[in-house]
Copies of this chain bind each other. A is one copy, B any other.
């Protein structure tokens, strides 16, 4: 009884460990340069055992994407507690600025994943990273719409685009200040609307 429950709990813990490890390592090293052994080691799971939780490497990539998507959900849920849509958006920008060190080192997890997955010939996962980005776009557009700003979709595109751009530049130039400078500009821009 308890044994079987324990086992199930332990098992799902392992799954969670693997997912978290995948999200982390894939972000840091990229998909192609990360081996299953890397992820297994990071999750402290024997290599052969990985396949009981994820049938292929791609499923691990998918799980990592889902993890990033969940992080996004947490963030927007947190931001949704503000009454003012402008404050929500400013909170979003602040969250990006808080991640400046990570961004400078490895870029935006979803953005860099999207770049890498788009290079694939087989269109198996290309869309999935795009979907996460689209969800961010949608949430952002919803804020602008509630706020009453005209062309909310365009404004959302501008904001998310700016985020991806500044993350990429911070990463390419290895300079977290890029995040600060552009972040502050975005805050002023939101105030000016």
Contacts and interface: CB of A to CB of B under 8 A. Distances in A.
Interface in A160-178: 160-166, 168-169, 171-174, 178
Interface string A6-37: 00000000000000000000001110110000
A168 B163 CA distance: 11
Interface stretch (A55-63, A87-95, A129-137, A141-149): A129-137
A25 B185 CA distance: 37
A121 B29 contact: yes
A183 to B, nearest CB: 11
Contacts of A182: 157-158, 161
A181 interface: yes
Contacts of A119: 28-30, 33, 106, 112
A115 interface: yes
A115 B165 CA distance: 11
Each complex incorporates copies of this chain amounting to 4
Chain A interface mostly:
helix
A173 B118 contact: no
> In the complex, which of the residues A130, A133, A165, A171 has the most CB atoms of chain B within 10 Å of its own CB atom?
A165
A111 B172 contact: yes
14 contacts: A30-B32, A33-B119, A33-B121, A106-B119, A107-B118, A112-B118, A114-B168, A115-B115, A129-B172, A130-B174, A154-B185, A157-B182, A161-B168, A162-B165
Interface of A: 28-30, 32-33, 106-107, 111-112, 114-116, 118-121, 126-127, 129-130, 133-134, 154, 157-158, 160-166, 168-169, 171-174, 178, 181-182, 185
Contact of A165 (B118, B165, B181): B165
Nearest to A154: B181
Given A161-B162, A162-B165, A171 B115 contact: yes
A118 B106 contact: yes
